[in-house]
Amino acid sequence: MITDSLSTWLGFLTSPAAPKGVMSPMELDGYLTGIVVSPDLLRPIRWIDGIWRENEPTFDGLDQMQTVIAAVMDHYNAITAALDAGFKQIEASFCLRPHPSTVMQITGLPIMVWALRVRTR
């Protein structure tokens, strides 16, 4: 399911402001899920730079920056709310691809595991 916040993120990815190598919506979803399920509360100041990876964005202005950061935080809050509601109600925003052996592969999982490492930095 693509949420409004992920749609905003997709729009940012197609803009000149997006740095090379910035997280895809699937990667962002996995990363934020990893942050949310971390045993320690992580303030955004500790993890927000991770979404850009190695390169900083060059925003067109303050409005674009606020819109993009708000979309990231909205998605973070949506993941938190879904987890608080119970695992039965969470719906993955990332792709599930059928494997030839009919096993489902969760493509966002490696990023979630990487996100859990953020707390040790």
Below-70 pLDDT ranges, the chain: 1-2, 87-121
| Length in residues, the chain | 121
CA-closest candidate to residue 32, choices 6, 66, 67, 59: 6
State the amino acid at position 76 in one-letter form: Y
Here the contacts of 7-12 (C-beta below 8 Å, separation 24 or greater) are 8/67, 8/68, 8/70, 8/71, 9/68, 9/71, 9/72, 9/75, 12/64, 12/67, 12/68, 12/71
pLDDT at 88: 52
Q: What is the pLDDT of residues 1-28, one digit of tens each?
A: 567 888 888 889 889 989 888 888 888 8
pLDDT at 121: 43
pTM for the full model?
Answer: 0.71
Query: Which two three-digit tokens encode residue 5?
Result: 């916040």
